[in-house]
Structure formats: structure tokens, C-alpha cells
Amino acid sequence: MSGEAPGRRRDAARSRELLLTAASELFGERGFDRTTIRDIGERAGVDPALIARYFGSKTLLYIAALHAEQGGVAAADLFDEQRLREVFDRTDRRGPVPLLQVAVQPLGDRAAQDAARTTLHARLVEPLHERFVREGADRPQLRAELVAAAMTGILLGRHSGAFDELAQADPGDLIEVLRDTLLSED
């Protein structure tokens, strides 16, 4: 006998996925520092002790959530209209993801902060930097960080409740206005 009650077999892959999904949602809603292991377990509907078993710690779960959001695909830069649509659509569906929040408020955990910063730069800043270098733009790193910071602010502002028209605007309209102002390629 295995010691487990009949009909109560553990599905490790399912529990891990539930924890990862719950963590991503809660980190997006509350941020890393205000999300507890207990909250994640409750949202996932599993024992929060499984976080230690499957991920090692809350910090490592946060890092796993960051990597899961990317899906292993290299991102186009924010000048790419399809990429802009994808960013707006994802944020509208899921709310501000943890990656956006770290751009405006540092995390209390150094390892989580470093992982989030690295991921933020890989997804938003580096593709823009590469583009600006190819185009021979002046100060490509500063330009890339400026555009990434502005996009972060726009996406967070859209969900903050502080900007009515921004929150209600159709993503297609936002992209058009954004490209005409901030992302002008002229």
C-alpha cells in the first residue's frame, strides 16, 4: 500500500500548474511582497507546502512565473504592431503582470528583483535597443529604456482607475495614437 487514500492520488503536474497560475495572478494583482505562500495555495486549491516541493521557495516560484509568461519565445520590439496588440490584449485579459509592476516599485526580495529586472530588459528593452542600434539611432539604450518605461506606464495607467479615457479606449486606437506620438519612427 502506498499510504494514500483511495481516489486521492496526487497529480504533481496539475498541482504545479495550479500553483504557477495562482502565483502569476496574485503577483499581478498584489505584487510580490504582498502575496503570501498561503494566498497562493488557497487560490490554487492545493496545500501551500507544495510550493517548497515543486519550486523551492516563493522567490523561485516568482521566477518560474516570469519565465512562464514569456513562453520561451523571443519577443519582437514594441515598434511591431502585432507585438503592441499582443501586449495590450494580454494586459487587458490578465491585468498588469508582475513584470510591469517591478518597473515602478522594487521588490523586497533581491533575487526576485534581479530576476524581474533581467526579464523586463530581455522582453522590452533589449529588442528595442537592438532595433535602435541597427538603425544607427543616437543613445540607443536610453531610447529603449524610455520607450519601455513609457509603455509600462501606459499599461499600468490603463488599469489603475486614474485615467478614464485611457481605460476605455480600444487597443487599436491606443496603438494608433501611441505610434503617432511616442513610437514615431520619423
Residuewise pLDDT in 10s, the chain (186 residues): 444 444 445 688 899 999 999 998 888 788 888 899 999 999 999 999 999 999 999 998 988 888 777 655 567 888 888 888 888 888 888 777 777 777 888 888 888 888 888 888 988 899 999 999 999 999 999 999 999 999 899 998 998 889 999 999 998 898 888 888 875 555
| Distance separating alpha carbons of residues 85 and 179, to the nearest angstrom | 12
All three cell numbers of 149, joined, read 518605461
In a domain, 1, yes or no: no
| Distance separating alpha carbons of residues 62 and 77, to the nearest angstrom | 24
pLDDT cut 70: percent of the chain above it = 90
Residues 92 and 179 in one domain: yes
Residues 52 and 117 in one domain: no
* The one-letter amino acid at 41: G
Q: Tell me, rounded to whole angstroms, the distance of Cα 168 from its chain centroid.
A: 22
All three cell numbers of 100, joined, read 510591469
Domain count, the chain: 2
Statement: the pTM of the whole predicted model exceeds 0.85: no
Residues 67 and 20 in one domain: yes
CA-based nearest residue to 30, from 90, 87, 95: 95
Residues 157 and 81 in one domain: yes
Residues 105 and 28 in one domain: no
Residues 44 and 64 in one domain: yes
In a domain, 2, yes or no: no
Residues 56 and 89 in one domain: no
Is the separation of the CB atoms in 156 and 96 below 8 Å? Answer: yes
Residues 66 and 47 in one domain: yes
Given 44, 71, 98, which residue is the final one in a domain? 71
Residues 114 and 160 in one domain: yes
| Distance separating alpha carbons of residues 138 and 132, to the nearest angstrom | 8
pLDDT at 170: 92
b/e 102-123 (16+ beta carbons within 10 angstroms → b): bbeeebebeebbebbbebbeeb
Residues 64 and 29 in one domain: yes
pLDDT one-digit tens code per residue, 74-91: 678 888 888 888 888 888
Given 71, 96, 124, which residue is the final one in a domain? 71
| Residues of the domain holding 105 | 74-186
Is the separation of the CB atoms in 132 and 142 below 8 Å? Answer: no
19: domain CATH number is: 1.10.10.60
pLDDT at 104: 82
Residues 26 and 111 in one domain: no
Given 71, 94, 120, which residue is the final one in a domain? 71
Q: Tell me, rounded to whole angstroms, the distance of Cα 74 from its chain centroid.
A: 15
Residues 103 and 40 in one domain: no
Q: Which DSSP state fits 157? A: H
Helix (H, G, I), strand (E, B) or coil at 134: helix
